[in-house]
Structure 1
Amino acid sequence: MTNEHVPADAAAPNALARRFAARLADLGLTEAQVATRAGMSIAYLRRVLELGCDFDPPALLRLAAVLGLDYQELVAGGPAERVHTVDAGPDPGSPPLVGPPVLGELTTAECWNRLGGNGLGRLARTGPDGPVVRPVGYVVHDRTILYRTNPDGALAPDASREAAFEVDRADPDLREGWSVLIIGPLEYVTDPALLAELPEPPAAGRWVRLTPRTVTGRTIRAATAG
């Protein structure tokens, strides 16, 4: 299988952001348009570009598809920025890639099915010092998202701001995957009956509910020759 070794400067987050900005200019698209088409908030898009290719590969796959680029073109640039080495022959069980990844859409029902009853996701919001993204363990209850946090923490409810919650999965070879994005306001869970059903939060922690305003999902797969 072919392994592409990317020089540190080509894979650096600031290089990724430069390639992204250049592609926006080529296509005449705005940052907001690309974020919407890729199924993420502008704040989360900026976080992905800031932290680079190791932070959220499925999100970068979606961006590459929206921009009409191969995944490696986005994260590592063109041939001048990359060094290719072949460690072994092609994997006979893997069809050759022939273009940018292909995006699809999930229905609302499919999004909730992908989330299941609980799991691990990311919560993103904009704080006083800029975007904040944190992993959270979540529980689904009546099509809302519940998680636990410290009342003094960055993920505590704030009536003036919404939050974005994302869960994604991708196969090890980045050939297919999916993501679900939920955006809405946060509030503390106060219903005694519900709190009695939930695990006790850690010391000083409280349960928080995200009530969806929008629920969107994307699938992504590699384009192959057949």
Structure 2
Amino acid sequence: MTPVSQFTAPGGGPGSDVGRRIAHSRTQAGLSRAELAHAVGADPSYLRYIEEENAAPGTAVLLRIANALGVSLAELRGTAAGYPDGRGRAASEPVLEEMDEAECRRRIGAHGVGRIGFTTEATGPLILPLNYTVVDGELTLRSTARGPLAGVAGGTVAFEVDRVDEALSAGWSVLAIGVLRHVTDPARAKALERAAWSGAWAGRDRTTWFTLRPERLTGRIIRT
């Protein structure tokens, strides 16, 4: 029999979006399931049920989970997904600092989502979101064979990655500038495919590989 709880409300589904967001935020926060369960006063088995099974926690427990994870209730529910980051008010005394190259590389990490920016005569300035994987110090990206990236391969582009902490009104951004290169060697393309953390978020038809080795890597962080 599926377990029930006083915190359960109707509307959940197998692998519910709320459960997946909780599991993702917990991993991002570096908390084990037992640690989060202790923080919110719940049984670890119930937290597993929320994350993996057919459950939709009520507002009271969901708010405790959000507070323990340092995220908003809207983020866990997904109602903030249609709006830009940074809708909260600025902190009273923020500190803006520049990051060195080593810290920039650490912040970018091994994979994520960023924005590539470039200018062409046909389009003018253009900025596109892309997920990436870092391989041997290079940002590796996927697009279509005749898409915008193919048209600017061989030229200088900018790639920006950022993160906003709504709860603390803090955040950081890293900017990589370098030459975008089209991967034409089939063996290299297969190697990048194997190393990729994820498929292209925008669709499986994006099978053409590009690389960007940063010639300049800068970043800033707002601390509160």
Give the TM-score, by structure 1 length: 0.51
Q: Which residue of 2 aligns with 1:108?
A: 101
Amino acid at match of 2:99: L
Partner SS state of residue 151, structure 1: coil
Gaps of 5+ in 2: 1-82, 194-198
Pairs within 5 Å for 1:208-219? 208-219=210-221
Pairs within 5 Å for 1:1-226? 57=86, 97-99=91-93, 101-128=94-121, 129-156=123-150, 158=152, 161-173=155-167, 175-199=169-193, 202-203=204-205, 205-222=207-224
Percent identical residues: 41
**CA distance, structure 2, for counterparts of residue 157 and residue 210 of structure 1:** 15
| C-alpha distance 98-118 of structure 1, shift in aligned 2 (>3 A) | closer
1:63-107 CA deviation, whole Å, 9 max, x = no partner?
Answer: xxxxxxxx77xxxxxxxxxxxxxxxxxxxxxxxx435x3211111
**CA distance, structure 1, for counterparts of residue 206 and residue 108 of structure 2:** 27
Contact in 2 for aligned 1:159/1:186 (Cα 8 Å)? yes
Amino acid at match of 2:110: G
**CA distance, structure 1, for counterparts of residue 162 and residue 85 of structure 2:** 9
Q: Which residue of 2 aligns with 1:87?
A: none
Amino acid at match of 2:205: A
**CA distance, structure 2, for counterparts of residue 157 and residue 192 of structure 1:** 20
1:140-191 CA deviation, whole Å, 9 max, x = no partner?
Answer: 0121110001122112253563111011001124621111100111111234
| C-alpha distance 150-192 of structure 1, shift in aligned 2 (>3 A) | closer
Q: Which residue of 2 aligns with 1:75?
A: none
**CA distance, structure 2, for counterparts of residue 159 and residue 196 of structure 1:** 19
**CA distance, structure 1, for counterparts of residue 184 and residue 110 of structure 2:** 20
**CA distance, structure 2, for counterparts of residue 103 and residue 149 of structure 1:** 34
Gaps of 5+ in 1: 1-53, 62-70, 73-96
Partner SS state of residue 122, structure 1: strand
Partner SS state of residue 210, structure 2: strand
Q: Which has the higher strand share?
A: 1
**CA distance, structure 1, for counterparts of residue 125 and residue 168 of structure 2:** 26
Partner SS state of residue 152, structure 2: coil
Q: Which residue of 2 aligns with 1:28?
A: none
Displacement of 1:55 in angstroms is: 5.3
Question: Aligned-residue CA RMSD in angstroms?
Answer: 2.8
**CA distance, structure 2, for counterparts of residue 214 and residue 141 of structure 1:** 17
